Structure 1
Amino acid sequence: MMSSGYEGVREIEKRLTNTVGWSATSGQVDNWVYEEANTTFIKDEEMLKRLMETNPNSFRKMVQTFLEASGRGYWETSEENLEKLRQLYSEVEDKIEGIDRGTPKSFTALSDSSISFGEGLELASNGIWKNDGEWRLWLRLAGIDLAREGTDVGAAEGEFVALSTLKVGEKEGTLSRMKEVALIQ
C-alpha cells in the first residue's frame, strides 16, 4: 500500500478505522490485532516517519484511532505507548498547522517571587503556555493546574512573570515540574 503514496496512507488509516468499527459492533477483534498494527505503523520509526511525511492528515487520524481504540477498551496497551501516541498526535497536528516547535526553552526559577520564561511565554486563555505560536507546553496534561488571577500574564522577550500573577500551587514542587514539562517536545 505504501507504494501508492498519499492514497496508500489513507487506505491504511481507513482499514484501522474499520477495525475499530468491527470491535464496536462484534467485539471479536483480539488485542493482538491492534498490537501488530501499532508495531508496524508506530513503533517502526522508519515507517512512522514515512507515514507522517506522505500523508500527515491520515496519519493523524491513525494516531487518533489508536487512542480511541484504547479509550473504548478495545485495545489494552501500556501507558508509555499511549503517551507516545499523544506526543505523536501533537507533533503531527503542529506539522499540519505549519507550527515549527524548534528547540524548547527552559523555565528558570529566580526567586520565590518570580520565574523567567526565556524568550517570552504567554498564558493563553485555555491554559496552554506558548512561545510565539511555535511550540506548546501542555501543562494540564502534566497535572499542573493553572488559574488566571490577573488580566495580563504575558511576558515580552526577556521579561519575567511574577508568581503572584498565577495560582500555581506549591511553588517549589511546581517549579521543578514546570522545568520537566518545558523540556518535552
Structure 2
Amino acid sequence: VLNPKWIDGMKENGYKGAFEFSATLDYLYAYDATTEIVSDWCYTQIYNSWICDENLKKFFIENNPWALRDLSQRFLEIINREMWNDHTPEILDNLKKIVNMADAKIEKNEY
C-alpha cells in the first residue's frame, strides 16, 4: 500500500481508486483489531504517504472526498482504540481538520 506504483494505479481509477484506499485501510484496521499485530510504523507510514501528500489529498478531494473523510475518521478511530500509540497531537489535529474540510466540501458540492 506504500508502493508508488500501487498508489499511481489506484489514482488512475478515479472515484473507485480513492474508494480502494479507504477500503484498504479498513481491511488493515480489521486485521489489527482481530490480531493486534499491526505495528505503529505501519499506520505512521500510511498516514504520511496518503494523508500528508498534497497531490494525493488533492486527488481525493477532486475524485472522492468521502474517501478522504473516511480515511481520516478511520485513523481517528484507530487512535481512539489505542491501536496507533506513537501518533502526535499534530496528527490528531490534522485528522480532525481534514474530516471537517472534507465534510464542508461535500456539503457545498465543491468536488
**Which of 100, 103, 109 is equivalent to 1:90?**
100
Which has the larger helix fraction? 2
1:25 correspondence with 2:29: no
Higher relative contact order (CA 8 A, sep 6+): 2
d(CA) in 1 for partners of 2:15 and 2:73? 18
Shift of 1:39: 0.8
- How many residues are aligned here? 100
Q: Report the residue type matching 2:52 in the other structure.
A: K
TM-score, length of structure 1 as denominator length: 0.52
In structure 2, list runs of 5 or more residues that go unmatched.
Answer: 1-9
Q: Report the residue type matching 2:100 in the other structure.
A: S
Shift of 1:99: 7.5
d(CA) in 2 for partners of 1:32 and 1:52? 26
Which residue pairs with 2:3 in the alignment? none
TM-score, length of structure 2 as denominator length: 0.85
Which has the larger strand fraction? 1
Shift of 1:59: 1.4
How do 1:1-185 residues align onto structure 2 when only pairs under 5 Å count?
Answer: 1-76=10-85, 77-98=87-108
d(CA) in 2 for partners of 1:11 and 1:43? 18
d(CA) in 1 for partners of 2:91 and 2:33? 22
d(CA) in 2 for partners of 1:57 and 1:31? 25
- Compute the RMSD of aligned alpha carbons: 1.3
d(CA) in 2 for partners of 1:23 and 1:82? 20
Which residue pairs with 1:117 in the alignment? none
Shift of 1:22: 0.9
Kindly provide the CA deviation profile for residues 111-135 of structure 1, in whole angstroms up to 9, marking residues without a partner as x: xxxxxxxxxxxxxxxxxxxxxxxxx
In structure 1, list runs of 5 or more residues that go unmatched.
Answer: 101-185
Work out which of the two has the higher radius of gyration on C-alpha atoms and give 1 or 2: 1
Shift of 1:51: 1.3
